[in-house]
Amino acid sequence: MISIVIEDLVKRFGSHTALDGVSLRIEAGEVFFLLGPSGCGKTTLLRNIAGFLTPDRGRILFGDQDVTRLPAHRRDTGMMFQSYALWPHMTVEGNVAFGLEERRVPAGEIKRRVREALESVHMAEYADRKIAQLSGGQQQRVALARALVIRPRALLLDEPLSNLDARLRLEMRGEIRRICKESGLTAIYVTHDQKEALSISDRMAVLDGGKIAQIGTPGEVYRRPHSRVVADFIGETNILNGTIGRISGEEISVETPVGNFLGRKGDPAWTPQPGQSVAISIRPECWKLSESGSGGMNSIQGVLTHTIYLGEVAQYEFTAGEQRLKILELNPRPGTRDTGHSVSASVAPEDVVILQP
């Protein structure tokens, strides 16, 4: 179990800067996610950590060891690829044993460690099967066992669940976290799937344009995004543009075209000023609907212009003036909020996140 430190990492491909001064620390034993939109630099960062790419500037430390120029095969990392990269002509046991054979581990120890690795991913009974005889989820477990069997210092995962169907993705999310925690591994996981990141990670870094937009726990990043990029990428949100009015301690009033809102700033390093143009982010599930409302601070009047009943949740399109908002209502009573209904929508100040534009 090791910590991994990235210091001022820069990686260019011709005139394109894929990583632009990235710095972060991943604690020993953490399941840490790198996520962001396509082209943000997350896979490039993982490949630098793995040793498949060499940065143009900066350092990578595994514990106290500088591995920036160390070849990939000497970094003692286990790697799981999106394609699994399994040998189709080999058995499950042969695939898992391959890395140990390359390291010239004694045959008896190979047998024992392969069995332990397959047991940890619940695949011991499939040891003699060929890869083509396995389902996608089973192949994914074999790839995980192969990465674990070498007893890596860190486990690196590059979108390992993207080829699985929705049910298997849900199942394997919990399995990957369980195995990492039971094995005491420091894991770095690249994905564009926000649900994976929210459900598995200890902490995450959201990248944008080769820079880190925000680092935090799932709850911190979801509930208190630092920027519009993060608010838009992690989950769904409603964005309203406005102007800062009064500032009183942590609470800030913002005047928008549909009403006035009290909220709190997202980025703790930002110092807002009265009269400044800003945006506010309000998650769809944070709104509360009622048949009547005051229309005062944090409450707006509007019409339900579209409704979808989904059983445990109802999804509404709420129109206030020229603004259309998305609202989610948990445990709705069917038929009580039909299209064309005039309602009031309100939100608590702690659920209004004020962002720099």
Rounded Cα distance, 193 and 206, in Å: 12
Is 130 in the same domain as 208? Answer: yes
Q: Is residue 230 part of a domain?
A: no
pTM metric for this prediction: 0.88
Domain boundary among 223, 249, 268: 223
Rounded Cα distance, 195 and 208, in Å: 18
Is 274 in the same domain as 137? Answer: no
Q: Is residue 319 part of a domain?
A: yes
- For the chain, the domain total comes to 2
Q: Which residue has the tokens 């049910």?
A: 167
Q: Is residue 228 part of a domain?
A: no
Is 34 in the same domain as 140? Answer: yes
> What's the domain range around 149?
4-223
Q: What is the pLDDT of residue 294?
A: 63
The string of pLDDT tens digits covering residues 192-251 is: 889 899 999 999 999 999 999 999 999 999 999 999 999 999 999 999 999 999 999 899
Q: For residue 127, what are the CA distances in angstroms to 14, 124, 138, 232? A: 46, 6, 11, 44
Looking up residue 244, the CATH number of its domain turns out to be: 2.40.50.140
Q: Which residue has the tokens 């990043």?
A: 221
Domain boundary among 192, 223, 254: 223
Is 53 in the same domain as 187? Answer: yes
Q: What is the pLDDT of residue 102?
A: 85
Rounded Cα distance, 123 and 266, in Å: 45
Q: Is the dihedral of CA 179, 79, 73, 13 positive or negative?
A: negative
Is 214 in the same domain as 254? Answer: no
Is 31 in the same domain as 155? Answer: yes
CA dihedral 215, 218, 221, 224 (to 10 degrees): -140
Are 34 and 204 a contacting pair, CB within 8 Å? yes
Is 196 in the same domain as 51? Answer: yes
Q: What is the pLDDT of residue 273?
A: 94
Is 189 in the same domain as 245? Answer: no
Is 254 in the same domain as 151? Answer: no
Is 15 in the same domain as 160? Answer: yes
Is 122 in the same domain as 267? Answer: no
Are 192 and 38 a contacting pair, CB within 8 Å? yes
- Which residues of the chain are under the pLDDT cut of 50? none
Q: What is the pLDDT of residue 182?
A: 85
Q: Is residue 100 part of a domain?
A: yes
Q: Is residue 47 part of a domain?
A: yes
Q: Which amino acid is at 287?
A: W
Is 189 in the same domain as 57? Answer: yes
Q: Is residue 231 part of a domain?
A: no
Domain boundary among 223, 246, 268: 223
Name the H helices within the chain.
42-50, 92-102, 107-120, 136-149, 166-183, 194-200, 218-223, 228-233
CA dihedral 86, 90, 92, 96 (to 10 degrees): -70
Tokens of 60: 């990578």
Q: Write the burial class of residue 96 (CB in 10 Å: 0-12 exposed, 13-18 middle, 19+ buried).
A: buried
For the chain, report the end-to-end CA distance as a whole number of angstroms: 41
Q: Is residue 152 part of a domain?
A: yes
Q: Is residue 250 part of a domain?
A: yes
Rounded Cα distance, 53 and 72, in Å: 9
Looking up residue 205, the CATH number of its domain turns out to be: 3.40.50.300
The string of pLDDT tens digits covering residues 285-320 is: 999 998 876 667 899 999 999 999 888 999 999 999
Q: What is the pLDDT of residue 144?
A: 87
Q: What is the pLDDT of residue 328?
A: 95
Q: What is the pLDDT of residue 325?
A: 97
